[in-house]
């Protein structure tokens, strides 16, 4: 089966640098809700001062970083980046989660599941929601076969949804189970 989602990942190239800025950042307005949401998964949110280096950032600042079960952000980190990296932590198996630093790894289907889950989780963030998050994802440079994040999410993400259900992260009714992936 062909994977439906592909994020832009040219070596050494930061896609967000060539696109419109995200509207929603990890400002105090969004941090409390984000922290509460991530705590439900056992993920620690660590806020770093503006301008500081972010440990575990794959793309470099201001993009979120992951080290172990900790998500590193600054006030200018896009919320879509924070959710994306948090969803990597949620979707990876426990062994990889215990040793992760910067590069989440995983295969294309897991990457698709991460993208679908971040949109679902945005529905639990007041003032953001799935629609705004998908717009920010498009502005940053996420690339999907159908063009936009919305078109992919609504019409072409069945394999990602099946992956999330198979790993117990989403219930049969489509609701989020608020737990991380267990052992294989």
Q: Maximum distance among all alpha carbons in the chain?
A: 43
Whole-prediction pTM: 0.90
- Where do the domains of the chain lie? 24-166
Q: Is the peptide bond before 74 cis (omega within 30 degrees of 0)?
A: no
| pLDDT one digit per residue (tens) for the chain, 184 residues | 333 444 433 333 455 554 456 789 999 999 999 999 999 999 999 999 999 999 999 999 999 999 999 999 999 999 999 999 999 999 999 999 999 999 999 999 999 999 999 999 999 999 999 999 999 999 998 989 889 999 999 999 999 999 999 999 999 999 999 999 998 8
Residue 129 CA, distance from chain mean position: 14
């Amino acid at each position: 089966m062909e994977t439906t989602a592909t994020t832009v990942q040219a070596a050494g190239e930061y896609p967000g640098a060539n696109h419109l800025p995200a509207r929603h950042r990890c400002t105090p307005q969004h941090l409390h809700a984000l922290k509460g949401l991530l705590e439900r998964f056992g993920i620690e949110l660590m806020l770093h001062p503006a301008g500081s280096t972010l440990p575990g950032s794959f793309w470099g600042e201001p993009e979120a970083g992951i080290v172990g079960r900790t998500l590193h952000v600054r006030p200018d980190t896009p919320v879509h980046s924070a959710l994306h990296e948090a969803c990597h932590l949620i979707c990876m198996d426990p062994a990889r989660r215990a040793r992760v630093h910067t590069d989440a790894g995983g295969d294309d289907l897991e990457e698709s599941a991460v993208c679908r889950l971040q949109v679902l989780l945005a529905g639990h963030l007041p003032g953001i929601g799935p629609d705004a998050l998908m717009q920010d994802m498009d502005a940053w440079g996420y690339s999907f076969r159908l063009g936009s994040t919305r078109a992919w999410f609504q019409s072409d993400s069945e394999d990602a949804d099946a992956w999330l259900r198979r790993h117990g992260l989403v219930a049969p009714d489509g609701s989020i189970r608020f737990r991380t992936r267990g052992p294989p």
